[in-house]
Every structure is written in C-alpha cells, then in structure tokens.
Amino acid sequence: MANRLSDKVIIVTGGASGIGAACAEVFAAEGASVSVCDINEQGGLATANRLGDRATFLKLDTSQESDWVNAVESTVAQFGAVHGVANVAGIAHTDDNVEACTPADWSRLLRVNLDGVFLGTKHGVLAMKQNGGGSIVNISSIYAVVADPFGEAVSYNASKGGVRLLSKSAALHCAREGYRIRVNTIHPGFIDTPMGTMTLKSDADPAAEKQATIDRHPIGRLGEPEEIALTALYLLSDESAFVTGTEMLVDGGYTAV
C-alpha cells in the first residue's frame, strides 16, 4: 500500500458491514485514522477492532443531527481533525412502487438515505473548513441515474437522486466559498453485499433473480464492496484534487446500455 491517505482522518458511516466496512478497511490500510460509525454497535465495533489503533467506533444514527455533532466532536478529540467523510449508510426495502409505498415507508427511507447524507455533508463541511479543506464522498446509486426497471424502488430512486444533486449543490457552495472542500458521489451498480442482494431473497426463485440481475450488468457479474471502497479512496486522496461536483458510475456497464 502507498499510504495515499497518510495523516488524514476519515469518518465512515455504515461501517458495520458491506461497502462501509470495506471503506474503513481500505482507508486504514492506506494510512488514515478512521471513525467507524454505525447504528449497529456490534458490527461497527467488530470493524473498528479489526483495524486496531487506526480506528475507533462511534454509534451514529445518521438521521439525528445530535449524533453527527457528537461524532465530529469525538473524532476531533481523538484524532485531532476531520479531513474526509464517506457517507455510506443507507437502507432499502422491497415492494416499493408508487402505489404500495406508504408515507411511513417513504419517510423512513428518505430520513436515512437523504437526510443522513445531508447531515453528514453539512457537519463534514463545518468541521473541514476549520482545517483548510478536505473531501466528502457520498454513496448514491445507479438508481439516481436510471429508475428501477420494474418501478419497484420509488422511494429509493427519490432518495438517491436527492443525494446526487445535494452533493453537486454542496460542491459548488464549498468551491465558491473557497473552502477547498470537494464533494463527489459514487453510483454503484448491484454490489454483492447483504443489502445489495436483499431483494433477491424475497423472490420465488432467488437464484434465477440473481442471474437476471447479473445479466443486466454487461461486465457479467455483481460488484464487490472493495471496488467501491477503492473508488472512494481516490476521491478522498489528494490525487483527485481537481475533482468536485461530479459522479462516478461504478456499475459494470449497467447504465451504458
């Protein structure tokens, strides 16, 4: 490893599993100190413990602003600053079409997927402008660019589309204020994580549904969490110093069709 994040302090949400855990592991391996944040205390602690002295676990409900204030303050107290935030935490649910989706389901999903990213971006900016700059990476989705082909992800589509334009707006604000804070989004295709394959388990034939999902990716497979983490690594590193307000599709060609 080349220590591409040497001396940087990164807050990672959703760090208990999947893409969030992969991000925490890659960032620490590249020299960062990492605050592993999740509402899942057991899983988050397990990730942090694997990383040793480079990491700490902070319990964080991303939809609660008071939790964000505590996460930033605790990170600064332990590691001295915040140089990056990776907003990874998110949820999904099935049977989410415009007729079946209830107001409660809609609000719950947007509270985590959109409100949580807004708060993470806001408090990331407030922290990082104190130390002269940094980078925020918000995990969106291919479903911010295209709709679920069966119309079964109305609230998820809305939340991830919101993340996409929230991030562009924040990037422009930071650039025009001269903060030297960059904000970008990553748009994964289907990734082989528990959440990424959650809907397949509810299908009458999960194996056939998984293959059909794979077939929608021209590259011929699902993505791996580490592939998203490595993209986030680039965006958090100084290598991407001229990259802000953009979106990186990491989708095996899904949206190119």
Q: How confident is the model at residue 198 (pLDDT cuts 50, 70, 90)?
A: low
Q: Flag the least confident range among 75-89, 188-202, 204-218.
A: 188-202
Comparing CA positions, the residue from 185, 247, 190, 187 lying closest to residue 219 is: 190
Per-residue pLDDT tens for 224-246?
999 999 999 999 999 999 999 99
The residue with greater pLDDT, 215 or 204, is 215
- The answer, yes or no, to whether residue 201 has pLDDT greater than 60, is no
Instruction: State mean pLDDT over 179-187.
Output: 98
Active site residues: 156
Question: In order of start, what are the domains of the chain with their CATH numbers?
Answer: 9-249 (3.40.50.720)
Q: Which residue has the higher pLDDT, 1 or 60?
A: 60
- pLDDT (tens digit per residue) in 113-130: 999 999 999 999 999 999
Model confidence band, residue 158 (pLDDT cutoffs 50, 70, 90): very high
Residue 196's pLDDT is what? 66
The answer to whether the pTM exceeds 0.75 is: yes
Q: Is 103 exposed, middle or buried (0-12, 13-18, 19+ CB in 10 A)?
A: exposed
Does pLDDT of 90 surpass 90? yes
Q: Report pLDDT for 10.
A: 98
The residue whose two tokens read 């959109």 is 114
What is the pLDDT at residue 200?
A: 59
State the pLDDT at residue 147: 95
Nearest alpha-carbon partner for 40 in 64, 59, 23: 59
How many whole angstroms separate alpha carbon 152 and alpha carbon 147? 9
With bands split at pLDDT 50, 70 and 90, how would you rate the model's confidence at 205?
confident
pLDDT score at 157: 97
User: Contact at 8 Å (CB) between 249 and 160?
Assistant: no
Mean pLDDT of 40-68: 98
Per-residue burial over 125-153, b if 16 or more Cβ lie within 10 Å, else e, is bebbbeeeebbbbbbbbbbbbeebeeebb
